[in-house]
Amino acid sequence: MKSELQESVEIHNRYAHHTPLSKTIGDGFLYATNPIFRRVRDMLVSQNYSFYNELSEYTANYFMTCLFQLDTILFEKKLFARHNFPALEKLIQKFPDKEIRLADVALLECYSTLLHESVHCICQQYFKWHGLELNSYQDKNQFLQEIFAAEALALSMEYLTCLPYSDSAERALVCMNALGNYRDTDQLSFEQLNLFVGPEEAELWLFRGYFAANYFYEASAAPPGFVNSLAKSKAGDPRFSSLVESVLNIGFRLNKPFRNSTARVFFKMIGVQGDLENALTFDLHEALADGSAVMCAAKDIFRSIIRSEKELYANGS
Ligand SMILES: [Zn+2]
């Protein structure tokens, strides 16, 4: 019987020719079977972003601190494509009879971050940032909200990309292209909210969850008062509130060291002085309310990437 890893490798090989990045795990498979992944890649290619794998000082920096390379990615339009597939093939050749799962190997931090970084590039184009230096923006609160929005959109797109795959070998392959770690219960609550309010609104709740999780970067769950006040338009409908709470909490299951280092280091890097809490002077409820500038931008970017809801929720594989 084939191991899950062998199956993942076979799926990768079957689809590898669909993109030039045949050495990046799952890249061709996702391009061929996933409308979001394909759309994001096509948008980048059409805007002259390029992908490379040569080892250089920049690559060394990327391995050490990918967080600090965002300005290079955004403004030099170059994304590092991890050649993480050949090592898997070697692993199988060396231990043909061992039951090794792709998820075990993924602990070694060999994810492809292309999808995530690509969504940052799409956001940069949308918001027209000229750099990542806070002091060069007149409206600092607006720029900070845009930074949070871009991160929340990148994480939402990863989540939505993973959603259609239920086969474990396929799912393992797909999760290698996402930073988040998605559990089946998360999938269920999102799908239920999707049925309840429709995909466009469900996606926006997912986005709010990631935004809030990075804002409350030390919290393990969405603060109850926060959920109630955001969901107030349909307060009194306990099913709606409980589904919204579950979907918001998908964001809060992002790993805490990741959220902490983003909050503590990334914001310092872009020029936030002193404690982040003191610098975040915008009102989170206002920022995430229906019709706010951030929510309108999120809606636009979701629409530009997810052109057809029907296409997205049809089985991608
Ligand atoms: Zn990011």
Query: What confidence tens digit (pLDDT) does each residue in 142-155 have?
Result: 999 999 999 999 99
Radius of gyration of the chain (CA): 19
pLDDT at 18 over 70: yes
Q: How far is the CA of 2 from the centre of ligand 1 (A)?
A: 35
Ligand 1 midpoint to CA 211 (Å): 11
Give the mean pLDDT of the chain.
Answer: 86
In the chain, the N- to C-terminal Cα span, in Å, equals 23
Type of residue numbered 228: N
pLDDT at 86: 87
Å from CA of 240 to ligand 1 middle: 29
Question: Is residue 15 within 8 Å of 33, Cβ to Cβ?
Answer: yes
Q: Where are the domains of the chain?
A: 4-149, 180-313
Contact 23, 83 (CB under 8 A): yes
CA dihedral 171, 255, 242, 286 (to 10 degrees): -120
Q: Is residue 308 pLDDT above 70, yes or no?
A: no
Surface-to-core class of residue 153, CB atoms within 10 Å of its CB (0-12 exposed, 13-18 middle, 19+ buried): buried
d(CA 262, CA 312): 30
100: which 2 tokens? 């090794």
Separation of 194 CA from ligand 1 center, angstroms?
A: 25
Q: Is residue 271 left, alpha or beta, with left meaning phi > 0 and alpha meaning psi from -120 to 50?
A: left
Q: How far is the CA of 262 from the centre of ligand 1 (A)?
A: 8
Written as six digits, the tokens of 215 are: 């804002």
CA of 93 to the centre of ligand 1 (A): 34
Give me the amino acid identity at 11. I
Of 17-26, 63-72, 178-187, 205-214, the least confident: 63-72
pLDDT at position 59 over 80: no
Report which of 39, 207, 191, 182 is spatially closest to residue 115, judged by C-alpha positions: 39
Q: How high is the pLDDT of residue 310?
A: 54
Note the pLDDT of residue 141. 94
The burial class, CB within 10 Å (0-12 / 13-18 / 19+), for 24 is buried
Percent of the chain residues topping a pLDDT of 90: 50
Q: What percent of the chain has pLDDT over 70?
A: 87
In the reported structure, the alpha carbon of residue 239 is separated from the centroid of ligand 1 by a whole-number distance in angstroms of: 32
- Ligand 1 centroid vs 116 CA: distance in angstroms? 6
Least confident stretch, 81-85, 97-101, 106-110, 128-132: 106-110
pLDDT band at residue 293 under the 50/70/90 scheme: very high
Taking the centre of ligand 1 as the mean of its atom positions, its distance from the CA of residue 213, in whole angstroms, is: 13
Instruction: State how far Cα 225 lies from the chain centre.
Output: 26
Alpha carbon of 125 to ligand 1 centroid (Å): 15
Interval 188-199 mean pLDDT:
93
> In the prediction, which pLDDT does 109 show?
60
| pLDDT surpasses 50 at 317 | no
Residues 148/168, Cβ–Cβ less than 8 Å? no
Say how many Å lie between the CA of residue 222 and the centre of ligand 1: 20
Span from the CA of 115 to the centroid of ligand 1 (angstroms): 10
- Rounded Cα distance between 179 and 261, Å, is 14
Span from the CA of 217 to the centroid of ligand 1 (angstroms):
14
Measured between alpha carbons, how far is residue 164 from residues 36, 38, 112, 301 in Å? 11, 14, 19, 20
d(CA 178, CA 115): 7
* Cβ atoms of 172 and 10 closer than 8 Å: no
Predicted local confidence at residue 17, as pLDDT: 97
The Å distance, Cα 118 to ligand 1 centre, comes to 9
**Residue type present at position 107:** L
How does residue 316 score in pLDDT terms, banded at 50, 70 and 90? very low
Phi then psi for residue 52, to 5 deg, are -145, 165
